[in-house]
Amino acid sequence: MSPTAYESPIALDVAPPRPVRTDVAIGCVGAGFIMDECHLVAYSSVGLRATAIASRRMERAKQVAARHGIETVHADYRALLADPRIEIVDIAVPPDVQIEIVREAVRHADHIRGILCQKPLGVDLAQAVSIVRMCEEAGITLAVNQNMRFDPSVRAARQLLEQGWLGTPVLATIDLRAIPHWMPWQKRQGWVTFRILSIHHLDTFRHWLGDPDRVMASACPDPRTSRSFPHHDGIALYVLEYGDGLRAAGWDDVWAGPAREGAAAEIGIQWRLEGTEGTAIGTIGWPKYPAREPSTVRFTSTRLGRLWFAPQWDVVWFPDAFSGPMCDLIASLESGRPPMLNGRDNLKTMAVVEACYRSAAEHRAVSPAELLAECGATN
Q: Which CATH number fits the domain that encloses residue 292?
A: 3.30.360.10
Burial (CB count within 10 angstroms: exposed 0-12, middle 13-18, buried 19+), residue 115: buried
Task: Mark whether 91 and 228 lie in a shared domain.
Answer: no
Residue 238 belongs to a domain: yes
Q: Which amino acid, residue 209?
A: L
Question: Residue 293: which region, alpha, beta or left (left: phi > 0; alpha: psi -120 to 50)?
Answer: beta
Q: Which residues of the chain, if any, have pLDDT below 70?
A: 1-3, 379
Task: Mark whether 54 and 203 lie in a shared domain.
Answer: no
What are the backbone angles phi and psi of residue 134, rounded to the nearest 5°?
-60, -45
Using alpha carbons only, what angle is made at residue 218 by residues 215 and 220, rounded to the nearest 5 degrees? Answer: 155
pLDDT tens per residue, range 113-163: 999 999 999 999 999 999 999 999 999 999 999 999 999 999 999 999 999
pLDDT tens per residue, range 149-160: 999 999 999 999
Using alpha carbons only, what angle is made at residue 299 by residues 151 and 201, rounded to the nearest 5 degrees? Answer: 35
pLDDT number for residue 336:
95
Residue 18 belongs to a domain: no
Task: Mark whether 113 and 200 lie in a shared domain.
Answer: no
pLDDT number for residue 202:
98
Task: Mark whether 212 and 301 lie in a shared domain.
Answer: yes
C-alpha 100/C-alpha 119 separation (Å) is: 15
Residue 328 belongs to a domain: no
Q: Which amino acid, residue 132?
A: V
Task: Mark whether 163 and 289 lie in a shared domain.
Answer: yes
pLDDT number for residue 10:
86
% of the chain surpassing 90 pLDDT:
89
Neighbouring residues of 161: CB distance < 8 A, sequence distance ≥ 6 = 169, 208, 273, 275
Task: Mark whether 311 and 166 lie in a shared domain.
Answer: yes
How many structural domains compose the chain? 2
Task: Mark whether 142 and 163 lie in a shared domain.
Answer: no
First to last CA, the chain: 49
CATH code assigned at 124: 3.40.50.720
Task: Mark whether 310 and 253 lie in a shared domain.
Answer: yes
Q: Which of 80, 77, 124, 120 is nearest to 101 (CA)?
A: 77
Task: Mark whether 297 and 164 lie in a shared domain.
Answer: yes
Task: Mark whether 57 and 169 lie in a shared domain.
Answer: no
pTM of the model: 0.96
DSSP single-letter state for residue 88: E
pLDDT number for residue 1:
44
Task: Mark whether 214 and 258 lie in a shared domain.
Answer: yes
C-alpha 293/C-alpha 313 separation (Å) is: 11
User: Domain range spanning residue 176?
Assistant: 149-318+347-362
Q: Which of 131, 136, 140 is nearest to 109 (CA)?
A: 140
